[in-house]
Amino acid sequence: MWLKSMIMIKCSVFFILVSLFIHQAQANNSDKQINWNQSDWPPFMISKGQNAGQGQLDKLWALIIREMPDYQHHKVVMNWSRIYKTMQSGEPLCNISAYKTKERETFAYFSRANNLILPHAVIIRKSDWVKLGSPKSYDLNKLLLNNNWVGQVESLRSYGLEIDKLIKQNTSNISFSTAQANRLIKMLINNRIDYFIEYPLIVDYVYQQEFSQPSDEELVYLKINEAPQYLLGYTACTKSPWGKKVIESVDIAIEKLISTPGYQSALSAWLSNASQAEYQQLYQQTLISKTK
């Protein structure tokens, strides 16, 4: 009887130790997995058509994960709302390039700056631009306060500190929706809205890809006086011990890559010829100089 009891105890201890080992192995394995959000946001992220995987951030992601072979990388399709709700819940997730805001820093760790973006513009019909006096740039605050104009912006999206602040202070003449550039262009052409805020790069790409027939209503990219000269993007991961370790690895990769021609080429992909010179100059001044 005594021998039988000892055997049973040893077996129980053995199974407990095996269970603990498996649990620890699973935990270690999960620590080495990264879920990256994937959105269809051309030409930053392109998930459809002949240019799939050739977006600026698609290329940036491919270069960075190549420097992180110890991790298993997975893409998860989700919209902007779900990305930040997932991080807020504490679930492990990373975004290859995001704006850093005080609110987001409460639930995400951020890498060093890894991307430079030329600023947003007001996208407007040329006929309305002429009514404004055909300016090269305009005060967004003045436009937001104009009761005769109706604008539209994307909800839960950050346009950078300066523009976000103006939008928050002046909401009476703008509407919020999940509509992206392709729908917003159609709404603008069909006179359903008077303007929207977007990167000229995005409007250029979407218009060329989805509007094969030129519209009778030409669009104008009106520079925003309150906008900064450029915006910076950062990799963001859920604020947790796991996220902190991932960001440390991302920073090492960025430090190695950011001065290389391949990295710079990835970030300048899809820029117009007119924007290339300005972009390269700002890139050298802001991202390269900080590595030296």
109 domain-assigned: yes
Q: Which of 198, 224, 250 is the last residue before a domain boundary?
A: 224
Give the three-state DSSP class for 123. Answer: strand
Verify that 62 and 196 share a domain, yes or no.
no
Verify that 128 and 216 share a domain, yes or no.
yes
Q: Which residues of 182-207 are buried (b: 16+ CB within 10 A; e: fewer)?
A: bebbebbbeeebbbbbbbbbbbbbbb
The pTM of this model reads 0.84
21 domain-assigned: no
Q: Which of 224, 249, 267 is the last residue before a domain boundary?
A: 224
pLDDT on residue 61: 98
Q: Which residues touch 31 (CB under 8 Å, ≥6 apart)? A: 242, 245
| pLDDT tens string 244-258 | 999 999 999 999 999
Angle at 85 between CA 80 and CA 88, to 5 degrees: 130
| pLDDT tens string 85-129 | 999 999 999 999 999 999 999 999 999 999 999 999 999 999 999
Verify that 157 and 237 share a domain, yes or no.
no
92 domain-assigned: yes
Verify that 125 and 111 share a domain, yes or no.
no
Verify that 104 and 236 share a domain, yes or no.
yes
pLDDT on residue 233: 96
Place of tokens 């820029």: 271
Closest to 97 in 3D by CA, of 88, 110, 107: 110
pLDDT on residue 26: 37
pLDDT on residue 79: 85
pLDDT on residue 52: 95
Helices (H), ranges, the chain = 2-31, 56-66, 80-88, 126-131, 140-145, 161-169, 181-189, 200-210, 241-257, 261-268, 273-283
**Domain count across the chain:** 2
Verify that 210 and 181 share a domain, yes or no.
yes
Residue 137: give the domain boundaries.
121-224
Please give the DSSP secondary-structure letter assigned to residue 41: B
286 domain-assigned: yes
Verify that 133 and 209 share a domain, yes or no.
yes
Which segments of the chain have a pLDDT < 70? 1-29, 212-216, 290-292
37 domain-assigned: yes
Verify that 55 and 98 share a domain, yes or no.
yes
CA atoms lying within 13 Å on the CB side of residue 203: 23
189 domain-assigned: yes
Q: Which residues of 72-88 are buried (b: 16+ CB within 10 A; e: fewer)?
A: ebebeebebeebbebbe
CATH of the domain at 219: 3.40.190.10
Helices (H), ranges, 67-125 = 80-88
pLDDT on residue 214: 58
Using alpha carbons only, how large is the chain's radius of gyration in Å? 24
pLDDT on residue 29: 54
Verify that 168 and 103 share a domain, yes or no.
no
pLDDT on residue 292: 47
22 domain-assigned: no
CB distance 208 to 88 below 8 Å: no
Place of tokens 């250029």: 204
Verify that 156 and 100 share a domain, yes or no.
no
